[in-house]
Amino acid sequence: MFTRRFHRIPVDYDAYLVAEDASLPCVIENISEGGLNILITVKSSPPLATGGFVTLQFEVPRGEEYEMLEREISLTCEIIWIHEARGGGLRLGLRVADENLSYQNLVKTLYMKRVGFL
């Protein structure tokens, strides 16, 4: 039986996936300490392959619980899996490949919010 290393938190954040000098609009669907699941809805994109590295850029949501966090986050990620999405587009599983303190602080804040501490 497969068990996840990190608990995933559903989110709905607009983001951009930067790959091969192309900036693709996407949506972050869930987030965890180790990675993210995103949905790319554009019809054409540069070739993406598992094992490749991309940059994911997004803004932290506005709100009192997020005011101590950096507003913009840029992550280096490895593509772990790629699936075609229903209705077109691609779903990607990304592993965070860099030690990004801003991202880790966001994830901790989301966990605390989810369990009712914030």
Parallel, antiparallel, or unpaired for β 90-96 and 22-31? unpaired
Three-state SS string over 12-62 comes to EEEEEEEECCEEEEEEEEEECCCEEEEEECCCCCCCCCCCCEEEEEEECCC
Say how many domains are in the chain. Answer: 1
Residue 62: give the domain boundaries.
Answer: 9-114
What is the predicted pLDDT for the residue at 1? 53
The contacts found for 85-88 with CB under 8 angstroms, 24 or more apart, are: 85/39, 85/41, 88/41, 88/43
Q: Is residue 1 part of a domain?
A: no
% of the chain exceeding 70 in pLDDT: 95
Q: Please report, for the domain that includes residue 73, its CATH number.
A: 2.40.10.220
Contacts of 71 (CB under 8 A, 6+ apart): 59, 60
Q: Is residue 76 part of a domain?
A: yes
pTM of the predicted protein model: 0.88
Q: Is residue 98 part of a domain?
A: yes
26-71 confidence digits (pLDDT tens): 999 999 999 999 999 887 777 899 999 999 999 998 888 888 888 9
